[in-house]
């Protein structure tokens, strides 16, 4: 179960006076079970990129392979691809439309042409995965809180039982508690269900904490593709792209400049704490 | 997908025509339309062709872009031409079974076609060189006199510019919701008419909700900035005539005089 992207180019408004490169020769392979973070400044091409992975946008040139099959081949089943590669858009709560939570979550699996029992079983499963119990089923999705709405919307995608889950800034506009709830659920899906996750986020702290691999986009090009620790070593280059490393990385580098003997690849607060304490005990 | 739709069809280049005051262009378009109805000889149409060609050259907009607007009236054009061609009495030129083409019919049909095409081209010049906002500003100022008889000119033009401003936003929003539902397996293309109409529900419900939300937000933001209608309101960019507008008005009036002269003399 892998996604392979080869020489992907995307040009908006090709052939008009407004044509603009959105993606420039992007290449990577995402293996089964990875947790990939995707970062980049606004307009760097992240959102365009993820819409290619489930065939919503068609590349101007280049190819996307899902499990070795070219998704642009004639007769490729896009609907099936979209059920395997679940995409949760930014502010997904704006896509809710049904009269109650349960039927909204049923929309995805019903589109797959499944039996009624199967559809409902999947909806129940998906809602329990995002932590919403039966008391929510009959409620109108428009009367819920922001965080709850978003969880319903994510459940709507999960109910299609995707193998890969792509989330575009799933925590934007949520309070810290709603944020942690969503991220913990996603990380739980990754750990317990072995789901491949691609997470777009602006929070470097979240990336350091959850992602096993980080892809950095700038002006439509892939700039870095490595473990978060390695990527954050380039914090000066990241800053030039309007990004940053986790705050703790700055603390660590500042301490090193003042002669503290600690490693330079610490990206989470817990790691840094341990390293600083160890260094203090030694000295 | 939907992103490719251009609305208001403004073509962003810098040209003498783009820089004119919208009122000048509104007046010019009106003059041109009137002149088309005044003209009734080949010389009149020739003069109109020269004038239109000159203005199109000045706009720096590619001609292919200009002609694109004609596709919309193709059917209308064909119908009116064939009616005039086959149903006008006069000196018979060709007779095929029950179809008869007369000299007079040919003449009216040709004039009719040219008149229709020029009408569309003339107004296309206006919309291609004037942003929707300039257009509403120009209309508000030009129709200001209606305010004296109780027509809420400012309010209408404000509503028009808000509506225009929101078209691209709503198009983008439609695109986004459509994609989100397609990611959930929705199908907007296949099926019969009833299935297609049903498939629109997951698109229209969120779209309406978001339109209402945006409307409330905007109303709130306008009130927070003390908006209370048109009375005593000044503009950040008030319309002011420049010397080029005077020249343009001169040219427009001269053109009208020539056209009337041609119609009277010939």
Put simply, the answer to whether A160 touches B184 (Cβ < 8 Å) is yes
Distance (Å) from the C-alpha of residue B198 to the closest C-alpha of chain A? 13
Q: In what order do the strands lie in the sheet with A20-30?
A: A20-30, A3-12, A61-66, A69-70
Q: What share of chain A is helix, strand, coil (3-state, %, to 5)?
A: 45, 20, 35
- Residues of chain A in contact with residue B12, where contact means CB-CB under 8 angstroms, are 17
Q: In this predicted model, what pLDDT tens digit does every residue of A88-112 receive, in sequence order?
A: 998 888 889 999 999 999 999 999 9
Please choose, from the candidates A199, A204, A208, the residue with its C-alpha nearest in 3D space to the C-alpha of residue A169: A199
Question: Mean of the pLDDT values across residues A228-235?
Answer: 88
Q: In this predicted model, what pLDDT tens digit does every residue of A234-249 receive, in sequence order?
A: 888 898 888 888 888 8
Extents of the domains making up chain A: 246-283
Q: How far apart are CA A227 and CA A204, in angstroms?
A: 13
Q: How far apart are CA A38 and CA A45, in angstroms?
A: 10
- Structure token digits, residue A4: 């392979």
**Test mutation, B172, B178, B183, B210, chain A, max A CBs within 10 A:** B183
CA angle A131, A191, B186 (to 5 degrees): 60
Rg (CA), chain A: 21
Cβ-Cβ contacts under 8 Å for A42 (sequence gap 6 or more): none
User: Any CB–CB contact under 8 A between B201 and chain A?
Assistant: yes
Q: What ipTM was reported for this prediction?
A: 0.86
Type and span of the H or E element at B93: strand B92-96
- Residues of chain B in contact with residue A87, where contact means CB-CB under 8 angstroms, are 183
Put simply, the answer to whether A97 touches B206 (Cβ < 8 Å) is yes
> At A196, is the secondary structure helix, strand, or coil?
strand
- Structure token digits, residue A12: 């908006």
Question: Mean of the pLDDT values across residues A144-156?
Answer: 90
The pLDDT of residue B234 is 81
The pLDDT of residue A244 is 84
The pLDDT of residue A283 is 67
> At A122, is the secondary structure helix, strand, or coil?
helix
CB B176 within 8 A of CB A89: yes
Report the residue from B3, B179, B209 with minimal CB separation from A56.
B179
Q: Cβ of A126: how many Cβ atoms within 10 Å?
A: 24
The pLDDT of residue B7 is 45
- Residues of chain B in contact with residue A112, where contact means CB-CB under 8 angstroms, are 185
Q: In what order do the strands lie in the sheet with A85-88?
A: A85-88, A164-168, A196-200, A35-40, A213-218, A221-226
pLDDT at position A206 over 50: yes
The pLDDT of residue B74 is 85
pLDDT-above-70 percentage for chain A = 98
Q: In this predicted model, what pLDDT tens digit does every residue of A214-227 receive, in sequence order?
A: 999 999 999 999 99
pLDDT at position A150 over 70: yes
Tell which phi-psi region holds residue A279, choosing left (phi > 0), alpha (psi between -120 and 50) or beta: alpha
**For strand A196-200 and strand A35-40, is the pairing parallel, antiparallel, or unpaired?**
parallel
Report the residue from A12, A17, A107 with minimal CB separation from B184.
A107
Q: Is A85 exposed, middle or buried (0-12, 13-18, 19+ CB in 10 A)?
A: buried
CB A90 within 8 A of CB A172: yes
Question: Mean of the pLDDT values across residues A113-125?
Answer: 93
Put simply, the answer to whether B182 touches A156 (Cβ < 8 Å) is no
Q: How far apart are CA A242 and CA A172, in angstroms?
A: 18
Please choose, from the candidates A188, A178, A213, A181, the residue with its C-alpha nearest in 3D space to the C-alpha of residue A199: A213
The residue of chain A with its CA nearest to that of B202 is A97
The pLDDT of residue B2 is 42
Extents of the domains making up chain B: 2-130+239-265, 153-224
Burial B14-37 (b: 16+ CB within 10 A, else e): eeebbebbbbbbbbbbebbeebbe
Q: Is A95 exposed, middle or buried (0-12, 13-18, 19+ CB in 10 A)?
A: buried
Distance (Å) from the C-alpha of residue A119 to the closest C-alpha of chain B? 13
The pLDDT of residue B1 is 38
Residue B251 CA to chain centroid, in angstroms? 22
The residue of chain A with its CA nearest to that of B5 is A13
pLDDT at position A81 over 50: yes
Sequential pLDDT tens for chain B (266 residues)? 344 444 456 788 888 888 999 999 999 999 999 999 888 888 889 999 999 999 999 888 888 878 877 877 888 888 988 888 888 777 777 777 777 788 888 888 888 899 989 998 888 888 888 888 888 888 888 888 888 888 888 888 888 888 878 888 888 899 999 999 999 988 888 778 888 888 899 999 999 999 999 999 999 999 999 888 877 788 888 888 888 999 999 999 999 999 999 888 87
CB A32 within 8 A of CB A162: no
The pLDDT of residue A139 is 93
- Structure token digits, residue A92: 């997904």
Work out the mean pLDDT of chain A and round it to a whole number: 89
Question: Mean of the pLDDT values across residues A76-83?
Answer: 89
The pLDDT of residue A1 is 63
Q: Distance of CA A58 to CAs A51, A218, B6, Å?
A: 9, 20, 20
Put simply, the answer to whether B180 touches A17 (Cβ < 8 Å) is no
Q: How far apart are CA B88 and CA B109, in angstroms?
A: 9
Which residues of A sit within 8 Å Cβ distance of B? 12-13, 17, 51, 54, 56, 79, 82-83, 86-89, 92, 94-97, 107-109, 111-112, 142, 156-157, 160
The residue of chain B with its CA nearest to that of A87 is B183
The residue of chain B with its CA nearest to that of A82 is B183
Cβ-Cβ contacts under 8 Å for A234 (sequence gap 6 or more): A224
- Residues of chain A in contact with residue B172, where contact means CB-CB under 8 angstroms, are none
- Structure token digits, residue A241: 């792209």
- Residues of chain B in contact with residue A149, where contact means CB-CB under 8 angstroms, are none
Report the residue from B179, B183, B186 with minimal CB separation from A157.
B183
Please choose, from the candidates B241, B29, B21, B182, the residue with its C-alpha nearest in 3D space to the C-alpha of residue A108: B182
- Residues of chain A in contact with residue B179, where contact means CB-CB under 8 angstroms, are 51, 56, 89
Q: How far apart are CA A121 and CA A108, in angstroms?
A: 13
Q: How far apart are CA B145 and CA B150, in angstroms?
A: 10
């Amino acid at each position: 179960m892998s996604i392979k992207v080869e020489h992907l180019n995307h040009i908006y408004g090709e052939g008009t006076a407004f044509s603009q490169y959105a993606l420039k020769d992007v290449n990577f392979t995402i293996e089964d079970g990875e947790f990939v973070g995707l970062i980049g400044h606004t307009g760097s091409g992240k959102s365009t990129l993820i819409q290619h992975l489930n065939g919503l946008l068609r590349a101007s040139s280049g190819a996307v392979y899902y499990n070795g099959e070219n998704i642009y081949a004639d007769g490729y089943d896009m609907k099936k691809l979209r059920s395997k590669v679940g995409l949760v858009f930014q502010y997904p709560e704006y896509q809710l439309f049904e009269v109650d939570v349960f039927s909204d979550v049923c929309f995805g699996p019903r589109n797959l042409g499944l039996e009624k029992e199967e559809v409902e079983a999947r909806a129940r499963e998906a809602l329990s995965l995002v932590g919403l119990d039966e008391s929510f089923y009959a409620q109108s999705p428009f009367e819920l809180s922001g965080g709850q709405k978003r969880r319903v919307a994510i459940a709507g995608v999960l109910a299609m039982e995707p193998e890969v889950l792509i989330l575009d800034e799933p925590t934007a506009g949520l309070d810290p508690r709603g944020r942690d709830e969503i991220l913990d659920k996603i990380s739980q899906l990754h750990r317990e269900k072995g789901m491949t996750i691609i997470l777009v986020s602006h929070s470097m702290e979240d990336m350091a904490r959850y992602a096993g691999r980080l892809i950095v986009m700038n002006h439509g090009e892939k700039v870095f593709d490595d473990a978060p620790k390695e990527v954050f070593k380039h914090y000066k280059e990241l800053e030039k792209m309007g990004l940053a490393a986790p705050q703790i990385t700055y603390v660590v580098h500042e301490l090193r400049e003042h002669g503290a003997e600690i490693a330079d690849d610490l990206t989470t607060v817990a790691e840094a704490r341990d390293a600083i304490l160890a260094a203090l005990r030694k000295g | 997908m939907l992103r490719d739709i251009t609305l208001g069809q403004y073509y962003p280049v810098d040209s003498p025509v783009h820089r004119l005051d919208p009122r000048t262009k509104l007046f010019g378009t009106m003059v041109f339309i009137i002149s088309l109805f005044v003209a009734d000889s080949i010389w009149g149409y020739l003069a109109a062709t020269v004038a239109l060609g000159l203005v199109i050259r000045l706009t720096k907009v590619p001609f292919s872009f200009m002609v694109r607007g004609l596709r919309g009236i193709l059917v209308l054009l064909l119908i009116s031409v064939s009616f005039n061609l086959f149903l006008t009495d006069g000196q018979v030129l060709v007779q095929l079974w029950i179809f008869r083409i007369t000299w007079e019919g040919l003449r009216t049909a040709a004039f009719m076609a040219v008149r229709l095409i020029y009408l569309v081209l003339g107004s296309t010049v206006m919309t291609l060189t004037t942003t929707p906002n300039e257009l509403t500003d120009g209309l508000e100022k030009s129709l200001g006199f209606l305010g004296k008889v109780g027509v809420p000119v400012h309010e209408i033009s404000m509503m028009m510019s808000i509506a225009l401003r929101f078209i691209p936003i709503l198009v983008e929003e439609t695109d986004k919701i459509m994609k989100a539902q397609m990611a959930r397996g929705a199908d907007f293309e296949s099926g019969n008419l009833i299935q297609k109409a049903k498939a629109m529900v997951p698109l229209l419900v969120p779209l309406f909700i978001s339109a209402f939300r945006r409307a409330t937000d905007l109303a709130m933001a306008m009130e927070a900035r003390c908006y209370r209608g048109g009375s005593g309101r000044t503009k950040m960019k008030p319309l002011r005539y420049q010397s080029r507008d005077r020249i343009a008005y001169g040219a427009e009036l001269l053109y009208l005089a020539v056209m009337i002269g041609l119609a009277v003399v010939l």
